[in-house]
Structure 1
Amino acid sequence: MFRHRPTHNNKAMDELFGVIDRTDRDPEAAFIVAGDFNSANLRKVLLRCHQHISYPTRGENTLDHVYTPYADTYKALPRSPFGKSDHASVLLLPFL
């Protein structure tokens, strides 16, 4: 599904792509990639994935991302940070 290798020299993105590519082999499993990616854009390596976060998660910036292969399938809602985190937490709900 995600067989495109990054064309840039960003070692972290290349390593992340490798882990995701090896993990995404089960067609019956839900595939969700979530994390604090700062300025990284995983769409460069996950060509068929969709970013579900469309609101700021730290101040005015959207640093936290949630990617799935399914457009218009999940709705991301902001929630309070956990503990002393300075990032909003995310509630991902499937559209019914």
Structure 2
Amino acid sequence: MMLLFSCFIFAQVNPARSKGEVFKHRPEKPTENLDYSGMIIVKKTMYGLVFADKQLSSEVKTRVEKFFKHRLNGYTDLKTYQLKVYRKHGKWYVDNTEI
């Protein structure tokens, strides 16, 4: 019981994705590819984009803004979006669109 409790506490203290990071820094499963583990939560409002993680770098924010400019037709609603991000050969893909 103590072992289970200590694992639970460790998972809460040391999450797989830290604040300000898009990709996980450690896998949760043994076969998980960290390049496919990216996630960004952003809310589209009338006044612009509001990121759930305030500590994201300006480079990441610029990429997401660029994504919304390219995919205007598919992402026109004013709501919260959970964007899947992955890296492949040094390029970033946001919801299967190269950015």
TM over 0.5: no
Which has the larger helix fraction?
Answer: 2
Q: TM-score, normalised by structure 2?
A: 0.30
